[in-house]
Amino acid sequence: MTSPTAVQRPGAPATRQGPRPGRRRTLAPYAFLAPAVTLFVLFLALPIGYAAYLSLRTVKVSGLGLGKGARTEVWAGLSNYERALSDPEFIASVLRVGLYGLLLVPTMLGLALLFALLLDSRRTRARGFSRVSIFLPYAVPAVISSLLWGFLYLPAVSPFAWIAERLGGDFPQLLSSDLVIFAVANIALWGGVGFNMVVLYTALKAIPTELYEAARIDGCNEIAIAWRIKVPIVAPSLIMTFVFSMIATLQVFAEPTTLKPLTNTISSTWTPLMKVYRDAFTRDDLYSAAATSVVIALATFLLSFGFLRLVQNHAFNQEK
């Protein structure tokens, strides 16, 4: 009886074997990750590293700064960071953004949670239309929404100013120095509520309905169910939206930059990122701009990481 195993004859060429299945399975994850890693290195890691390198350099000017070799790049150490952290304009912009965040983030997340709870209520009608209507402002780019709101703020072209005039009232100067921070926060609020609402609403839809039925049997109304069941369960999603909102607040740029030509109350250093843009592209001081960028990035990371650790420690202590 002939054996099913093929026997290689003497002198015959050796059969070339492909890679073993185990080796293919080992290399497959790296092959899938390679495009993402390449894009991360090229467009995120390398720019961050180059910015950190520039932040440690400066330009030394010899004589009048004219001619070949009159401007040379030299090592600066931490002098750019010392100058950035002691700059009154940078400190003022940080304080301004801090006040902006205190106005925006709690209001935005509070409205997002309220809308998500209302949409999740069994008494709500037209959920699809309401959900799209609340989310739609988020789909409008920040520059376009800032222009739209900017013209609504200007008394000369605002329909609200015309209505107030016909009613015998005074239209407030929303772009004045006292109210401009509220005007900028309103634009971000209008666009950010919808995104956070969708995140929280999605988390609410994942809650088993049996919990609601058990609570109703125990005599809980809709408000008690929302406060005692829904809000504690979606707390992780609420924390995530808070971190994202905090990061977006520290990086606010489009709204005040778009409103700047419409008013004199917004300076070129109104926010930290606006100061970075001014230093890099108006004053041609890339080294100072790089140092300020690194400071903003580190502050964003430390605040986000510190808040998450604080929440984790609080949750761990409660579990004990």
Q: Please determine, for residue 67, whether its predicted confidence score (pLDDT) is greater than 80.
A: no
In this structure, are 94 and 124 located in the same domain? yes
CA distances (Å), origin 77, targets 52, 74, 107, 157: 11, 9, 42, 51
| pLDDT (tens digit per residue) in 165-221 | 898 888 899 999 999 999 999 999 999 999 999 999 999 998 888 888 888 888 888
In a domain, 282, yes or no: yes
d(CA 238, CA 267): 34
Q: Please determine, for residue 58, whether its predicted confidence score (pLDDT) is greater than 60.
A: yes
For range 257-280, the mean pLDDT: 94
Q: Please determine, for residue 66, whether its predicted confidence score (pLDDT) is greater than 90.
A: no
Residue 44 is part of which domain span? 34-75
Q: Which two tokens stand for residue 63?
A: 């004589």
In a domain, 6, yes or no: no
In a domain, 294, yes or no: yes
**Predicted TM-score of the model (pTM):** 0.84
Strand-pair partners of 75: 57
Confidence of residue 39 (pLDDT cuts 50, 70, 90): very high
- CATH at residue 154: 1.10.3720.10
d(CA 183, CA 292): 26
CA distances (Å), origin 267, targets 143, 270, 271: 17, 5, 9
CB atoms within 10 A of CB 103: 18
In this structure, are 67 and 95 located in the same domain? no
* Whole-number pLDDT of residue 27: 81
In this structure, are 113 and 39 located in the same domain? no
Helix, strand, or coil here: 74? strand
Per the rule left: phi > 0, alpha: psi between -120 and 50, beta: everything else, 152 is alpha
Based on the number of CB atoms within 10 Å of its own CB, is 54 exposed (0-12), middle (13-18) or buried (19 or more)? buried
In a domain, 9, yes or no: no
How much of the chain exceeds pLDDT 90, in percent? Answer: 58
* Whole-number pLDDT of residue 129: 86
For range 59-69, the mean pLDDT: 63
Report the domain count for the chain: 2
Q: Please determine, for residue 26, whether its predicted confidence score (pLDDT) is greater than 90.
A: no
In this structure, are 271 and 305 located in the same domain? yes
How much of the chain exceeds pLDDT 70, in percent? Answer: 87
Confidence of residue 15 (pLDDT cuts 50, 70, 90): low
Name the more confident of 192 and 61.
Answer: 192
In a domain, 114, yes or no: yes
In this structure, are 180 and 291 located in the same domain? yes
In this structure, are 130 and 256 located in the same domain? yes
Averaged confidence pLDDT in the chain = 86
Name the more confident of 124 and 280.
Answer: 280
* Whole-number pLDDT of residue 2: 47
Last residue of a domain, one of 75, 105, 136: 75
In this structure, are 55 and 87 located in the same domain? no
* Whole-number pLDDT of residue 21: 58
In this structure, are 86 and 208 located in the same domain? yes
Last residue of a domain, one of 44, 75, 106: 75
In this structure, are 85 and 71 located in the same domain? no
In a domain, 19, yes or no: no
| pLDDT (tens digit per residue) in 219-253 | 888 888 888 899 999 999 999 999 999 999 999 99
User: Looking at residue 16, what DSSP letter applies?
Assistant: P
Strand-pair partners of 58: 74
Confidence of residue 97 (pLDDT cuts 50, 70, 90): very high
* Whole-number pLDDT of residue 1: 46
* Whole-number pLDDT of residue 319: 66
In a domain, 93, yes or no: yes
For range 285-312, the mean pLDDT: 90
Q: Please determine, for residue 305, whether its predicted confidence score (pLDDT) is greater than 50.
A: yes
Quote the Cα angle for 182-275-143, to 5°.
Answer: 55
| Beta carbons of 153 and 262 less than 8 angstroms apart | yes
In this structure, are 160 and 296 located in the same domain? yes
In this structure, are 62 and 196 located in the same domain? no
d(CA 230, CA 251): 31
Name the more confident of 302 and 12.
Answer: 302
Last residue of a domain, one of 43, 75, 107: 75
CB atoms within 10 A of CB 189: 18
In a domain, 162, yes or no: yes
Per the rule left: phi > 0, alpha: psi between -120 and 50, beta: everything else, 69 is left
